[in-house]
Amino acid sequence: MEQLLTVDDAERLAEAVVPAEAWGYIAGGAGDERTLLWNREAFSRCRLRYRILIDVSDVSTETSVLGTAVSMPVLVAPMAYQQIAHQDHELATAQGAAAAGTLLCLSTVATATPAAVAGAAPGAARWLQVYVFKDRSVSEEIIAEALDEGFSALVLTADFPVVGIRDREVRAAFDVPEADVPAYRSARQRIESDDPALDLLDAGVEWGYVTELRERFGVPVIVKGLVTAEDARLACEHGAAGVVVSNHGGRQLDGAVASLEALPEVVEAVDGRAEVYLDGGVRRGTDVVTALALGARAVLVGRPVMYGLAFGGAKGVQQVLEILRDETENALALLGCRSPAEVTREHVSTKYL
């Protein structure tokens, strides 16, 4: 397997092997893809303020998320339909994440069941991302299976009441691989509808469901997909243990604020009541430490992991994550920090943001 220097190298190799219709789904965003672009561009408008003459002979990227130890402040974001990238799908992603020592968030609409993922990487750290079906028993059975298999938290994706307008997917003639997704098969057995698969999801979910999930299943609930202080406060009021500042990777509302731009106001609104994470646009270790400086405890990466999966299976996933880990370690040392915990707001200037 080719040795990578950067995450962008992984994207180049992935595009060479992924069918065009699948690539339209993996790499594309909503509308004119402005938010997709802004997610990455926002990092270029922050300036790191490094300190000198500090002993950084022993630097560690290790941290924890909701009490779970991970090797780096970089987690694997939930991604649907990984079968379209590689025949070993989420099983390989789980193995690659475990080998890199970090946590995997599995999508409800994965092409592998929670039990299969747990079996592929025994003992690894795992969260389950939750989509809510119109027949909520479909979601609840997946949650129950995941918790039985050692998944330790639920990540409720809240920015998906309807599907964003995704022109690149339409032009590429991408079809949702419904037959390969256990959740869709289960939903079809209970919901008599000829609607597209994504229309089987419930557009009527409200804040009370956060409380319901927490009380019914007894595990931490993280709300993913918020970009405002108002929603951050509501998440805390409903007992969320964490929030993910995210615009769904630029795949939902085109023109939405970049994740990094939204991070400071969310951190201020949460005010220590929950852990704050970020996804969207992370491609370098310097991006990781920038997010940490603005108050994120960790970042989640999606497309880069899918790129690694596409060209290299589990080893490709591991290689991408280890690039980000090594770059983060380097950035910490050059910033004058010996661990993620030492990165503070004083390490970044946002006057250009």
The amino acid that residue 262 corresponds to is A
Which bin fits 253, alpha (ψ -120 to 50), beta or left (φ > 0)? beta
CA distances (Å), origin 260, targets 191, 213, 331? 39, 28, 18
Task: Please give the structure tokens belonging to residue 268.
Answer: 């201020």
Q: Is residue 300 within 8 Å of 75, Cβ to Cβ?
A: yes
Annotated active-site residue 248? The verdict is yes
- Beta carbons within 10 angstroms of residue 171's beta carbon: 12
CA angle 321, 220, 212 (to 5 degrees): 135
Q: DSSP letters along 176-195, please?
A: --GGG-HHHHHHHHH----S
> Which positions ≥6 away from 271 have C-beta within 8 Å?
none
From the candidates 86, 89, 248, 347, give the one annotated as an active-site residue: 248
DSSP 201: B
- Beta carbons within 10 angstroms of residue 352's beta carbon: 9
Pairing of strands 154-157, 74-76: unpaired
Residue of 312, 286, 212 lying closest to 46 (CA atoms)? 286
Q: Is residue 303 within 8 Å of 27, Cβ to Cβ?
A: yes
Residue of 279, 299, 289 lying closest to 331 (CA atoms)? 289
In sequence order, which ranges of the chain are alpha helices (DSSP H)?
7-17, 20-27, 34-41, 89-100, 114-120, 136-148, 167-171, 182-190, 208-217, 229-237, 259-270, 285-293, 303-335
Backbone phi and psi for residue 283, each to the nearest 5 degrees, phi listed first: -135, -10
Q: Mind telling me the catalytic residues?
A: 248
